[in-house]
Amino acid sequence: MMVADAVVYAWRKIKRMPLWVLFQDTRSIFSKDELNSEIAKIAIPATFGLMADPIASLVDTAFIGHLGPVELAAVGVAIAVFNQASKIAIFPLVSVTTSFVAEEDSATSSSSILDDIELQPRSKSDNEKMLLLPKHENTNKRRHVSSASSALLIGAMLGLIQAFLLIVSAKPLLSYMGIKSDSPMLSPAYKYLTLRSLGAPAVLLSLAMQGVFRGFKDTKTPLYAIVMGGVVNIVLDPILIFVFKMRVTGAAIAHVCSQYLISVVLLWKLIEQVDLLPPNINDLQLGRFLKNGFLLLVRVIAATFCVTLAASLSARLGSTEMAAFQVCLQVWLAASLLTDGLAVAGQAILAGAFARQDYESAKETAGRVLQLSLALGLVLAFIVGVGLTFSSGLFTKDVKVLQILSLGIPFVAATQPINSLAFVFDGINYGASDFRYSAFSMVLVAFASVACLLLLSSYYGFVGIWVALSIFMSLRAIAGVWRIGTASGPWSFLNIY
């Protein structure tokens, strides 16, 4: 009996652990309840929207791969540089915008409902009708969301600065990435990077607007705009690359045209819903944006530095290894971003829950998106492993590239569940506005990962780089587990459960 009692006691203690609380009620993971419906409504369009840029890069990669391994490797390096520069601005801007807009919109909606109830007759039936009205019932009046204006202003400024810096410093950046002045990769990489940099203002502005729409829990509108831009990119790519024989220059021009189309469509739709001119300059909340944006900037620099270092180490191995790494990386990122849609849904719902201090809803939402991410990650591991094995020939016909590519496929597939948890933990912490922990934990992860990259790549080359990247993503997931598992910071309320 004593042993049985001890087991029961230990089991009860485990069930009361903060992290265990988030994995309760697993039977509802695939149910058609209200929470799953809300998550799906946000996550599914967001997933396709998030995959747009990696898919566009995959399209470029597929077309350019038929030009030869040198062009493929060159564009791979150029995309790595552009992504590094873009992520430094994009993720802080989008993540902070989503949280702030969701908080402001939730608070405004709650106040509007209370005001409406006060103005209506006090009969029970009338009050019930008012409570059943959807948010923002008055469609004739645009919303006043000052954080939206702040996001667009900052996004436009960052886009212009990024374009200027990339164009001016293109050759030094490519040299840092391992492409020297006598390399055959220099000319196509330089052309692609400088031309694609002209689209930076459109990229930053459109991402800022996507953050605003996410804060409104509307991911369908950005998806429509992104699909339009993607179609333009896919149509222009073969025409400019092969018909007009513009090669990598044509791929870059096609990509830039698609980004400006996305930006114009989003701005048009946003103006219909939001008054982008705040009553006064103080309503812009620039200080709050910059403070939290800086914390996420530190995080993004640390995270993307690891991936960029991996690309640089691959380029130093040669154009064949770099070409294989580029294909693996693009598939790795595109597949992983499927679960980033869950992170967006979790962030938007959690930001509103924390703003209302609805901790029961916050706990339930965090647990559900984590459960869904793990399930989706396991499915992706199978799909990517099988799919990339049989479809690698779509990216290149070079036998040596395909041989090295086969070495990276197991890592790309096996890390999908880990990547899924890591991305969703990020979204959960952003929804809780836990930006400080997100920044400092990533810095520690980056230090360990950089050491692994330098050590393992020197001994095991291409395989060592992918082992190090797997360690990098595992440490990111562990950092998310630690924060919630210890019920610290904004998650201290989990101690009561």
Q: Are 431 and 351 in contact (CB under 8 A)?
A: yes
11 is a domain residue: no
- Predicted local distance difference test score (pLDDT) of residue 138: 44
Averaged pLDDT, groups of 10, the chain, 497 residues long: 52 58 71 88 84 68 83 85 78 87 76 49 47 45 80 91 94 88 90 94 92 92 91 92 92 93 95 78 74 88 88 86 85 78 91 87 90 92 86 77 87 92 92 92 95 93 94 94 87 76
Q: Alpha carbon of 409 to those of 77, 335, 412, 416: distances in Å?
A: 20, 13, 5, 11
pLDDT tens-place string over residues 231-256: 899 899 999 999 999 999 999 999 99
- Predicted local distance difference test score (pLDDT) of residue 141: 65
Q: Are 52 and 226 in contact (CB under 8 A)?
A: yes
460 is a domain residue: yes
Chain centroid to CA 193 = 22
Find tokens 């530190």 and name the residue: 298
Domain that holds residue 480: 16-118+141-496
5 is a domain residue: no
Helix 286-317 crosses helix 435-485 at what angle (to 10 degrees)? Answer: 80
Which SS3 state, helix, strand or coil, does residue 35 take? helix
- Predicted local distance difference test score (pLDDT) of residue 417: 93
Count of domains forming the chain: 1
What is the total residue count of the chain?
497
127 is a domain residue: no
Q: Are 439 and 433 in contact (CB under 8 A)?
A: no
d(CA 496, CA 18): 9
52 is a domain residue: yes
* DSSP of 224-285: HHHHHHHHHHHHHHHIIIIIS--THHHHHHHHHHHHHHHHHHHHHHHHHHB--S-SSGGGG-
- Predicted local distance difference test score (pLDDT) of residue 110: 54
153 is a domain residue: yes
Which SS3 state, helix, strand or coil, does residue 178 take? coil
462 is a domain residue: yes
Q: Are 403 and 69 in contact (CB under 8 A)?
A: no
pTM of the predicted model, to two decimals? Answer: 0.77
Find tokens 């991936």 and name the residue: 307
pLDDT tens-place string over residues 363-405: 889 989 999 999 999 999 998 888 888 877 777 777 888 888 8
- Predicted local distance difference test score (pLDDT) of residue 287: 79
- Predicted local distance difference test score (pLDDT) of residue 335: 78
- Predicted local distance difference test score (pLDDT) of residue 329: 86
pLDDT tens-place string over residues 473-497: 999 999 998 888 888 889 888 776 5
Kindly provide the residue ranges of all beta strands, DSSP E only, lying in 296-403, ordered along the sequence: none
- Predicted local distance difference test score (pLDDT) of residue 496: 64
Element housing 395 (H / E): none
8 is a domain residue: no
- Predicted local distance difference test score (pLDDT) of residue 135: 45
Backbone dihedral region for residue 461 (phi beyond 0: left; psi -120 to 50: alpha; all else: beta) = left
